[in-house]
Chain A
Amino acid sequence: MARLRFSLHNSRTRLVLLSMVLSALLTATVLALVYVTATRSINGETRSVVSAELTGLADEYERRGLIGLMTAIERRLPSASERDALYLLTDRFGNVLAGNLARWPEGVTPGSGWTELELRKTETNEMVPVSAASIRLRGGERLLVGRDALARQQFDRVLFHSVALALGAALALSILTGWLLTRLVFSRLRDIADTADSIMSGDLTQRMPQRGTGDEFDQVSATLNTMLDRIEDLVNNLRTTSNSIAHDLRSPLSRLRQRVEALGDSHRNDSEREADTARATAEIDHILRVLAQLTEISRAEAGLGREQFEQVDLRQLVGDAVELYEPVAADLGIRLEIEGSASPIPGHRPLLSQALSNLLENALRYAPEGSAITITLRDDGPFAELGVRDQGPGVPEEDLPRLALPFVTLDPARSERGAGLGLALVAAIARMHHGSFLARNRNPGLETTLRLARQPA
């Protein structure tokens, strides 16, 4: 897996960019809202002041006539520049009578409402933007009152400036937080990716790092580690199994080769050949049996045959098996005893019979003469348990975990027919029934237990 690096195609860059765009959008929306609201309220204020002044001056004209109006305007002029106020009174021909504007603006019809203008101011002789309203007076004179819009434009500029600054700051901040956040996430992911890399290169003992924070990453790592434990087990089993297959089949195959060679020897008489044939057949049968058992194990591990599950009465199953093995046991001077009972479980009847038969044969091999083999049935929570206990020598404690591994035989003088697959098949059948197989020493004797799920998974 490639190292994580900066590129538009990696998710870190995309996450940072996305966070940037989102925060920029948010900031811009807020500021635009502020701007629109502020401008609207400033404009509204200006207009109400202007129209109030216009009404006031029109009243003055009504009461005191033209001279009175001119006096009123002249009186307001000194403070006008502070208030950004503009006044203009002309006669009906457009000659200026009073005010601080040089001339009547072109294109403005008195009484036409609000207009935005560029006008020359008489005091400063500069062009200023103006928002103004005008009326025509009774005597044909025109009156215009306005507000210098320069201040508002300056306010606009300041606002735009702050918007740009705020946006910039927001972007910088979002890059920083995005980077910090993703650095945390991606450093964890990189740890996992690095570990996966070294596992892929063959080191199955590596485990995902955990920081002990118990966060989601630790939880994912823990799950992955459980999976890796299981995979390591399976791979090791597989290695052992394939090595053992190679090893275990070599001996019967070389014996078979000797028999076949002997058969070709013309000096042999008929009875010798018959014996050779019988032995060769026995070797072949052994090999076939090993292969058949391996197939059976891998099928059970894969859960094939689960579709054939039916309700199995364990008491009946045990009763049948005991009935079958009783004479064999009696010949060996061993009693078979059944204890307890368990509820019926969903299961594969023939395979469960096979598992029980393997356990019984195993116990019969080690039980001393005159002793009893006890088969115990009991319910344990979601499981039904089937235990087979002998009074034999047991198994060295350190060998217990290996007992159910394929090709493990603890009996150095193993019988011709056993290849160490019997208990491996039992364990596989237990897993097929969503249960487990366990073996423990009960001093005296060994107890092997099948735990089988009582409810279908």
Chain B
Amino acid sequence: MSRRLLIVEDDEDTRDFIAKGFAEEGYAIETAANGRDGLYHATDGGFDAIVLDRMLPELDGLALVKSLRAAGIKTPVLMLTAMSAVDERVKGLRAGADDYLVKPFSFQELHARIEALLRRPQESEETPTLRCRDLEMNLLTRKVTRNGREITLTPREFQILEFFLRRKNRVVSRTMLLEGVWDYHFDPNTNVVDVHISKLRKQLDEPGEAPLIETVRGAGYMMSDGTA
């Protein structure tokens, strides 16, 4: 069962770049070059996610996503924006998009975010315990144990770990962490996120234990249980 993805983007090179990338990942792709066609395809339904450019001819991305949401279509939308300005970034989210990505972006980052959007519905099924290999997190008692050993975490470390566990086996980028955990919509110059992760790793991994959070070169981090 392949997942269906709609790409609405007027720039041909970018559209082909995204389409090719997702096709290689096994997605079924539909494309549209302007907002009107995009809206037509999107309302037709049957897509698992939509990659939508912010600035489009005929009907711009913000208006498109507003119309979709007004029509009660809840397909996850990731908005691509060439506007890097901090105050412009969040406009897409306010209009009803589920996530945004600033151009230019790496395909890995886009892939990670789309994957994250596709799994979202499952997250809403509230389970009291999240697991990954020998790690267990109880969301009610806020207790974290690995291999039976209790791990004491600060609230922020707990939040980061939960963020990873909810996106098990998927790449989590640094900007995703900054946005999702700290609600920071800009890119700090220093390696703040890396330092937080290495601190968390020290808490999670005892000497001799396999590291739970892996570094994915050029993309970010991933917590995998070895099944994917």
Interface residues of A (CB under 8 A from B): 278, 284, 288-289, 292, 295-296, 299, 304-305, 308, 320, 323-325, 327-328, 331, 348, 350-351, 353-354, 357, 361, 364, 417-418, 422
Contact A357 B87 (CB under 8 A): no
Contact A353 B184 (CB under 8 A): yes
Residues of A within 8 A of B87 (CB): 299, 304-305, 308, 348, 350-351
Residues of A within 8 A of B190 (CB): 325, 328, 361, 364
List the B residue with the shortest CB-CB distance to A331.
B195
- B66 interfacial contact with A, CB 8 Å: no
B173-207 interface code vs A (CB 8 A; 1 in, 0 out): 00000000010111111111001100100000000
A296-B85 in contact given A288-B104, A324-B182 (Cβ < 8 Å): yes
**Is the interface on chain B under 10, 10 to 19, 20 to 34, or 35 or more residues?**
20 to 34
A361-B188 in contact given A299-B87, A320-B182 (Cβ < 8 Å): yes
Residues of B within 8 A of A325 (CB): 190, 192
Residues of A within 8 A of B185 (CB): 350
A328-B86 in contact given A357-B186, A422-B189 (Cβ < 8 Å): no
CB distance from B80 to the nearest CB of A (A): 15
Residues of A within 8 A of B199 (CB): 327
CB distance from B202 to the nearest CB of A (A): 10
Contact B188 A295 (CB under 8 A): no
Residues of A within 8 A of B84 (CB): 288, 292, 295-296
Residues of A within 8 A of B182 (CB): 320, 324
List the A residue with the shortest CB-CB distance to B187.
A289
Residues of A within 8 A of B218 (CB): 278
CB distance from B191 to the nearest CB of A (A): 7
A417-B192 in contact given A350-B90, A354-B86 (Cβ < 8 Å): no
Contact B195 A328 (CB under 8 A): yes
CB distance from A256 to the nearest CB of B (A): 14
A296 vs B102: C-alpha distance when bound (angstroms):
14
- B156 interfacial contact with A, CB 8 Å: yes
Contact A350 B186 (CB under 8 A): yes
Residues of B within 8 A of A288 (CB): 84, 104
CB distance from A411 to the nearest CB of B (A): 13
A328-B186 in contact given A296-B84, A308-B87, A323-B156 (Cβ < 8 Å): no
Contact B86 A361 (CB under 8 A): no
Could you pull out 6 A-B pairs where Cβ atoms are within 8 angstroms? Answer: A289-B187, A296-B85, A305-B85, A350-B86, A357-B184, A417-B189
A353 vs B146: C-alpha distance when bound (angstroms):
35
- Seed contacts A324-B192, A348-B87, A418-B189; 17 additional CB < 8 Å A-B pairs: A296-B86, A304-B85, A304-B87, A305-B85, A305-B87, A308-B87, A320-B182, A328-B191, A350-B87, A350-B90, A350-B184, A350-B186, A351-B87, A353-B184, A354-B86, A354-B186, A422-B189
A320 vs B87: C-alpha distance when bound (angstroms):
19
List the A residue with the shortest CB-CB distance to B196.
A327
B73-84 interface code vs A (CB 8 A; 1 in, 0 out): 000000000001
A284 vs B86: C-alpha distance when bound (angstroms):
20
Residues of A within 8 A of B188 (CB): 324, 357, 361
A348 vs B192: C-alpha distance when bound (angstroms):
22
A324-B184 in contact given A331-B195, A350-B87, A351-B86 (Cβ < 8 Å): yes
List the A residue with the shortest CB-CB distance to B188.
A357
CB distance from B166 to the nearest CB of A (A): 21
A288 vs B104: C-alpha distance when bound (angstroms):
8
Specify which of A304, A327, A354 lies most central, judged by the most chain B CB atoms within 10 Å of its CB: A327
Residues of A within 8 A of B104 (CB): 284, 288
A361 vs B182: C-alpha distance when bound (angstroms):
17
Of A278, A295, A331, A418, the residue contacting B85 (CB under 8 A) is A295
A354 vs B104: C-alpha distance when bound (angstroms):
20
